[in-house]
Chain A
Amino acid sequence: MKPKTVDKIATAVIIGVAAFIVLLLIGLLGFILVRGLGHISFSFLTSAPESFREGGGIGPQLFNSLFLLVLTMIITVPIGIGAGIYMSEYAKPSKLTDFIRLVVEVLSSFPSIIVGLFGLLMLVNYFGLGFSLLAGALALTVFNLPLMVRITEQGLKSVPREQKEAALALGLTKWKTITSIMLPIALPIIVSGTILAAGRVFGEAAALLFTAGMSSPRLDFSDWNPLSPVSPLNPLRPAETLAVHIWKINSEGLAPDAAEIAAGASAVLVITVLLFNLIARWLGRFMYRKFTATK
């Protein structure tokens, strides 16, 4: 066969496969949204779930997911950025640095169920946190830290060398250079990466089964005292998140409309991830423009 014909056939095959993937992806998203959107309503998003009757909502689960996300990010962001700065600016090339790099890489590829088991052993039992939001947030921190470190490193690497050198030449300390010259420049990358990581946290379930628990106590949304056991803000209460809820009603759902609830909750999850993506893109571009004076 002529090389030209082979080329045409191969191109056609590749385009065909790509088209198949695009169709698959569109079908996937379409399926989730079409099946789920019909079930989403204000009362579905705010009311409590029902175990045996129809018409249960996902209100507490949605709140738990958001609250857990905020808790996790409060713990993860300072530690992750600190460790990222160390890896990118302070670590000298040595055996020890190589070892830390390996550790971060291993941690980032640990299955989330293992992180959950570790949380069960260490946080829930050993530190006596019980199945609680705090234990869940710490487990998710472990799960999220390597990503945060990588994002920070990437951000700092994107800072032009001249700018860093100019700051050091002016007599600023290394730390001052990092915090007031390099971090602002790296911020667009760090912020958009962090939001994407937040999306991942929002949908994580396996690490939470044995840390945040699979039940949600009755919550009183008028009680905002964080120490009260029925308060939604109490970090030591068990909390079932949206993703865990989807898993639970699919494997042991007793409500007659379990499939609809799962579809609605899946759609909410996917839309949230979509929103996180869009916000990350938009905010990254906005900050980049703001800080670098490019049009």
Chain B
Amino acid sequence: MAQTIPKKTAGNGRSAGKNHFVEEWVGKVYTTLCVLFLVATIIAMVYFVASRGLSTFFKDHVNVFELLGGLKWSPEGSPPSFGAFPFIFGSFSTSLLAALLAAPLSICASIFMIEITPKFGRKFLQPVIELLAGIPSVVYGFIGLSVIVPLFRDIFPGQGLGVAAGALVLSIMILPTMTTVATDALASLPAGLKEGSYALGATRWQTIYRVVIPTTLPSLMTGVVLGIARAFGEALAVQMVIGNAPFVPRSLFESASTLTSAITLSMGNTAAGSTHNNALWSLALILMLMTFVFVFIVRWLEGRSKL
């Protein structure tokens, strides 16, 4: 018995060594393949959207500045004109307005949750807000269509559809996103900073606006930018309430369009390779480039974060 044990271990040791080698490689190869898949996907995505979007300019010879600054969008007209400025204007106005409405509310909510009633906030408010972040955007669109639009129709002139309705729906939609980021930022603030401020005799509000907000400002702004990015890329909820007229609206309550709503509505009805179709891909390219811009702003803000 005593003699066989060393022999056995030696044998196991050799095959185990080989097994170890195989096992390690299986893991490495498998995980590397997964990452390669991810990277290949995004490269393919950027390549395809860019090549389709740019062919409007190179193949169909539409002027870049005409597309970016032109006011008239009639791709089927003769001569066709591809002025996408109304869409760009619609996207920026709805998402910025939405952020303007949602940012103060979300920062107040996160201050309430972290600084004023930490227990109630953590136990009750935070789960509810996380739940809201999970509600599908079509549901927000449906609510906008059945509550906000009729309300605006009664109060203001016009059909109720327009930039104001779009911005309001988006602001409710991005409120949870912004609040979650802001809450995380406030919660990660070292307790010593606040305690120091209280020890100097500052009131809670003085602590909040002299210490808490200045130190967490980059993180709070990250939340705002993420909210704008989400609003900018949202398609269906906005499309349902904005009215979809391809003009720059003269008031907040006049029908307008965004980049996403134009793509959603027309992409299915155009033939692949036609100028109209390519122009829609150019709109998608603008959307994609804006996504890059948002990601870089977020990265820059994270770099400035003092925490």
Contacts and interface: CB of A to CB of B under 8 A. Distances in A.
Contacts of A82: 30-31, 33-35
Nearest to A204: B136
A67 interface: no
B132 A28 contact: yes
A172 to B, nearest CB: 9
Interface string B268-304: 1000100000000100100110011011001100000
A81 B27 CA distance: 12
Contact of B112 (A14, A102, A210): A14
B148 to A, nearest CB: 11
Interface in B66-125: 104-105, 108-109, 111-113, 116, 125
Nearest to A281: B127
Contacts of B288: 110, 114
Contacts of A18: 108-109, 112-113, 116, 125
B287 A111 contact: yes
Nearest to B129: A25
Interface stretch (B1-9, B37-45, B152-160): B37-45
A250 interface: yes
B15 to A, nearest CB: 14
Given A109-B291, A110-B233, A174-B27, A103 B111 contact: no
Interface string B253-280: 0000000100110011000100000000
Interface string A106-137: 11011111110110111001000000000000
A251 interface: yes
Nearest to B20: A173
A118 B287 CA distance: 13
A111 B229 CA distance: 8
B287 A7 contact: no
Given A86-B31, A202-B136, A247-B138, A118 B48 contact: yes
Nearest to A104: B38
Nearest to B104: A17
Interface stretch (B54-62, B189-197, B203-211): B203-211
Nearest to A79: B34
Interface stretch (A38-46, A54-62, A271-279): A271-279
Nearest to A213: B268
What is the predominant secondary structure among interface residues of chain B facing chain A? helix
Contacts of B295: 102, 105-106, 109
A31 interface: yes
Interface string A8-29: 0011011101101110110010
Given A6-B205, A32-B139, A121-B48, A276 B134 contact: yes
Contact of B139 (A25, A81, A175, A269): A269
Contact of A175 (B28, B34, B105): B28
Given A106-B295, A111-B233, A173-B24, A250 B31 contact: no
A113 B48 contact: no
Contacts of A80: 34
A189 interface: no
B184 interface: no
A251 B239 contact: yes
B146 interface: yes
A89 to B, nearest CB: 8
Size category of the A interface is 35 or more
What is the predominant secondary structure among interface residues of chain A facing chain B? helix
Contacts of B236: 205-206, 247
A99 B146 CA distance: 44
Given A17-B112, A28-B132, A250-B145, A111 B38 contact: no
B203 A3 contact: yes
Nearest to B206: A3
Contact of A178 (B27, B49, B108, B232): B27
A28 B299 CA distance: 33
Contact of A113 (B109, B116, B226, B263): B263
A28 to B, nearest CB: 7
Given A113-B264, A173-B23, A11 B45 contact: no
A125 B134 contact: no
A7 B203 contact: yes
Contacts of B52: 121
A142 interface: yes
Interface in A249-274: 250-251, 259, 262-263, 266, 269-270, 273-274
B240 A247 contact: yes
A85 interface: yes
A205 B137 contact: yes
B31 A90 contact: yes
17 contacts: A13-B108, A14-B116, A17-B112, A21-B109, A100-B35, A105-B295, A114-B287, A115-B45, A121-B52, A206-B137, A206-B236, A244-B138, A247-B138, A250-B138, A266-B143, A273-B135, A277-B131
Given A103-B38, A203-B138, A266-B143, 8 more contacts: A82-B30, A86-B35, A103-B42, A110-B291, A121-B48, A205-B137, A247-B138, A269-B139
